[in-house]
Structures are given as C-alpha cells and as structure tokens.
Chains A and B, each alone.
Chain A
Amino acid sequence: MITYQGIRIFDGIAIGKIKYLKFSGEIEKSFGKGKTFESDRFKKAQSSAILDMKKVYENAKKELSSKDADIINAHIAMLEDLDFLDLVQEGLDNNYSAEYATFCAGKNLSDMLSQMDDEYMKARASDVMEISMKVIDILQNNNTDVELTEPCILVADDIPSSVLLKMDRKYVRGIVLLKTSTNSHISILVRTMEIPSIASVSKTFNPADDGAVAILDGNKGKLLVRYETNTLLKYFEKQKKYEDTKKDLQKYLNKKAKTIDGKTIEIGANISSANEVESAKKNGAEGIGLFRSEFIYLSSNNFPTEDEQFAQYKTVVEAMGEKETVIRTLDIGADKKIGYFNLPEENNPALGYRSIRICQDRTDIFLTQLQALYRASAFGNLSIMIPMIISEKEIDFAHNMCEMAMKNLDLRGIKYNKNMRVGIMIETPSAAILSDRFAKKVDFFSIGTNDLSQYTLAIDRQNQMLNKFFDPRAKSILRFIKLTVENAHEEGIHVAICGELARDPKLTGFFIKLGVDELSVSSPYILQLKSNISKVDTDKINIDDYIN
C-alpha cells in the first residue's frame, strides 16, 4: 500500500478514481513571430479568457455568496487593467512571444503585490498569476476545462479557483492539493464547499497512480493507493458510519449542550488560523475557546508586524460578533520552533525556553502582540490568555505589559477595550497547586491538559517510546483539574478545558459534575461532544470514582 501523507483541509472519507491534473507553471523565455502577430494572438486570448470568466462569474453567483463570486469579477478587472496591458505591451515590444510577454507581466505585478506590507495584498499575488496562466493556457491551446464523467478524487499541485468553479462538482468526491498550503485561496474555497480534502503532501506524486482507485481519508490527512481489499472494505464501513453519524449529529447544531438531568456547559472551538472561524461557526461553536496565535508566527518568515497580527485577530473577532474569542498569546519553543527567533538547541525542550519565558526576555515581541490584541478588542468580544504560567510574578509581568500596551495605544489615539479579560492557562503542576492564589489575580482559567499531563506524569509526549506509560486519565491529572475548578469557582471566575482531554467521552460526565464552565475542542468534534453530553446523567457520576 502507498500512503501519501498530507494535512487536512476538510474531513470526511472519499473513495474514487484518481484524476491527476496538471496546469502550466513557469514559461520559458521565447521570441514571437513579429509584434503585430503576437499582439493579435494576445488580444484574442485575452478576450476569450474574459468571456469565459464572465460565464464562470454568472454561475458562481448562483452557487456561492456574492463575496466569493466577486473574486472572479476582480480577476476579470485585472485582465482588463491598463497596468497589466502596458506590461504585456512592453514584453511584445521586446519581440517576446505572447505567452512569455503575458507571463512577465503577471510575474511583475505579482512580485509587486507580494512585496507590499499588507497580508491581504500579498495573497492577491497568486490571483494575478492565475489570470496570466489562464491567458497562456488559451494561447497554447491547453485544455483546462476538466470534464468529469465519473466520481473521482482530484490530485494536482494546485488548482486555479476558476477551474474548480467550472467543474461539474457532483463528481468531485475528494481533492488532494499536493503543493498548496491549507491557508491558500483554493484551500479556503474547498473548505467552503465541504469537500473531503488534504494539502501539503510531503511525498512526490507518482503519475503512475493516475487513474487508480484511491481512498482519501480527510480526517487523517491521508491518500491511500494500491491497498488490499480488506482496507477498502474497512473504509467503506468507516465512510458509511461517518456519513450516518454526521447526518445524525446535525440535530445538535443550534442546541445548547445539555445533560439528561438538565445541566448545561458551553462548547467552544480550538482554532489555529483566521480561516478556521467559518468551520467553527458551521459546527455550532458558541465561541472560540482557544486561538493559537503562534501559527501566525509559524507561517511568517520574520516577526509578524503589529498590523499583520491585528488584521488576523480582527477577522476572527469580527466574525464571532458577540460570541467570545479567546486568543492565546505566543506559545513557541518546545515542539514549535521558529527559525527567526534564533532559539538555542536544548537538551530538554519540553522543560525549556518557551512561551511566556521567552516573552519575559523579549518584551518587544510580547508588546507588539499585546498591542495588536488590544486593537482587535475594539471590534468584538475578545479575551486573551497567557500560557505556561508558573508564578504570581509572571502574572504581574503580563499585567504590566498589558498596561504598557494600553498606554502606547492611548498615545497613538487608538481605541480599544480597556476591560478586555486577561486569563491564564493552567498547564503546569505549579499553576494547578497555586490556582487558589492565581484565581484572585486573573479573569479566567483555561486548563491545557496536554501540557498539564506531560508535566504531571513527567512523560515527554514527543517521545513515542513512552506512550505505553502514559495514562491521560491518571488520577493525579484529574485531581489537579478538580483543584483548579474548585479554586476558580471559589473566586467566581470562569474555567474552561481546552486540551485533548476535553473531548474524551469517558471524562465528559466528570467534567460536568465538577462544574467546568466550558469545553473547547477542534471544530469537527463539537457536535459529537454535544451528543455525548446529552447522554450524561450527572446524578449517576461519582467524583470519587475518578480520583480515588
């Protein structure tokens, strides 16, 4: 069996024939057959591209939101733009072929956009290349219309959005974007269409697999080819089960999570980028319980500026409206290393130089982030939380930095929410033990069970050899959780659980009985969790059974 491992864009299981698509990439320098001849060729290709895109636009308006369809309208405007046409003309004046002149014009403008100090404009660079390639495909008579006649799994390095929009999507069972990031425009589109899909595949695709029947496991980010019959049978079953459960779970979408005996609990979503908000909302999240801000740093080649961060935070906060968004400040180090931070190699990274510890040395980085967060607080219901806290001194440090961020914004005359809630993660034994004191100083707690359990049990979660020694429901961990919840409620503050443990069906009853206020899990697990809660009867739960 061959496994292509990638990263999930949208979950679900698809089984179908692989259809491998290739679109043109770099165009080599070439000269044409005279200026007038090449200029005519360009004009014809340009008008035929525009005509074609107008058709796509009309269809897209029927199926998508007007905002999504307007992207195509902007593409048409780019193709008609005088700057674009001038640059093509420049190439033609150099006796280039129409193809190469078009390619240079597209490259020139896309370079201009990608150098702008603006995330949104940077992302438009790929749109310019897409429209240029469209003209080139017409010039070269490349057939980009993908005609589908049977159910299939599309595999391509990247797919131009207009091509996907034009396809007969009833046949598209799954999509594999080999060389595209999960944040690209096309990935976002695929997610909106809710097609099982994966991106960023590490292994090179073998063209011999084109036409083979394959299994796409979106949940695990895998594409399987040349598998054994029982694997297929297993997946048929999995797929059926997945579809049935999914349908059944929809009934919990707009319902509050409630136990048999009428106890309720809030359900939040954990996300890693602004693009995941829509999926959180679609799955019935009542808020964002954890936005891991470090992914903004991970996807950047240098320290993200205040404006860049602000734009991302604001998008999330605005999309959630009145519902609360909790953004966790920078949590890097340990298993999340970033080149430009120049962090030293460590013998014991899990117990090492990470998150709030780095922020205490590099106050400039922390302050930039806090200013971006305070600015975003003016646009909705935002709270922030600080990770890896072990002492009151660190809480005081964080508060002082918040004060400083607010003062700086005052000086710049920028509005923000002065009362933005500041909470902390309880993810070290030290924090759990001192939670009575910490609760007097912060607005809320969120228990990060992944780190809390590795530190409590002294088991490195990155070391697979230790898996057999690891018990996520160890009594010591559950006692720490109980202690933290009790101390939080003693001071009347909100307490959430945002680690993997939050969706463990064997602990759902325990958490609710303890009085945990919120469970926050990845979007695809929300409805399942709500369903699990509806089967809990807290009268039948005995806390002692879990901790003694």
Chain B
Amino acid sequence: MKNFKYIIKDPEGIHARPATTIVQATKKFTSKIQLKKDGDTVDAKRMFGIMSLGAKKGEEIEFIFDGEDEENACEKVKAIVEENL
C-alpha cells in the first residue's frame, strides 16, 4: 500500500475541472485508489464521489493506493495533484 497527503492550494478547491483531471489520471491504473478527507473516504476513480467531498483550499486530503501498480500510480497521481490543486 502507498499513500500521500496533500493540502489543497487551489482557491476554488476540488471543483469540477480538477475532479475531471484526477479521474482521468486514476482511471489509468488497476490499483484500488481511495481519496480521504476528514472521516470520509471515496473512490478516486469516481468524479461525483470526489466532488461530494466538497474539499476546499487549506484542507488536507489523502490518496491511498492498493494494487499491483500502486508505486507508479502514487507517483503519477501525486505529480498531477501538485500541478492542478
């Protein structure tokens, strides 16, 4: 299992556009990828799930990867999150 935490810097939080970007990235991997905020956990391959977190600027989110390509997935998703959020 791999994971990373990130504090959102985008002033608009995870709105529709970054949610789209995240899903387009996570879908490429076979690993199970989860996104956590506070007590809520959602599937990071599902856009509406991600949007339902309502994550805002300054809040901490955590990505958790579990599966064969977890190493690679963690690295790639982290880069995309850092660039877009």
**Distance A77 CA – B27 CA, assembled complex (angstroms):** 11
Tell me the number of A-to-B contacts counted with CB atoms below 8 Å. Answer: 51
Minimum CB–CB distance from B12 to chain A (whole Å) comes to 7
Main secondary structure of the interface of A (DSSP, over half): helix
**Contact code string B13-34 (vs A, CB < 8 Å = 1, else 0):** 1011101100110000000000
Tell me how far the C-beta of B25 lies from the nearest C-beta in chain A, rounded to whole angstroms. Answer: 12
CB of A433 closer than 8 Å to a CB of B = no
Distance, CA A442 to CA B13, complexed state (A): 36
Cβ < 8 Å to A, chain B residues 34-85: 43, 45-49, 51-52, 54
Does A112 touch B at the CB level, under 8 Å?
yes
Is A74 touching B49 in the complex (CB atoms < 8 A)?
A: no
Q: Is A11 an interface residue (CB 8 A)?
A: no
Q: Separation in Å of the A127 CB from the closest CB of chain B?
A: 7
Q: Is the CB of B54 within 8 A of A121?
A: yes
Residue A421, interface by CB 8 Å:
no
Do A81 and B54 form a contact, CB below 8 Å, given A70-B17, A74-B16, A124-B16?
no
Q: Are A112 and B17 in contact (CB under 8 A)?
A: no
Assembled-state Cα–Cα distance A84/B11 (Å): 27
Q: Return chain A residues, CB-CB under 8 Å to B51.
A: 113, 121, 124
Give residues of chain A (504-531) contacting chain B, Cβ–Cβ below 8 Å: none
The complex places the Cα of A109 from the Cα of B16 at a distance, in Å, of: 14
A63-81, CB under 8 A of B: which get 1 and which 0?
A: 0000100110110011001
- Whether B54 pairs with A77 at a CB distance below 8 angstroms is no
Top 5 closest A-B pairs, CB basis?
A74-B16, A77-B20, A83-B48, A81-B47, A83-B46
Q: List 16 A-B contacts (CB under 8 A).
A: A70-B20, A71-B16, A73-B20, A74-B17, A77-B23, A77-B47, A78-B47, A82-B46, A83-B48, A83-B49, A112-B52, A113-B51, A113-B52, A121-B15, A314-B11, A379-B11
Chain A interface (Cβ < 8 Å from any Cβ of B): 67, 70-71, 73-74, 77-78, 81-84, 109, 112-113, 116-118, 120-121, 124, 127, 314, 318, 379
B residues sitting closer than 8 Å to A (CB atoms) are 11-13, 15-17, 19-20, 23-24, 43, 45-49, 51-52, 54
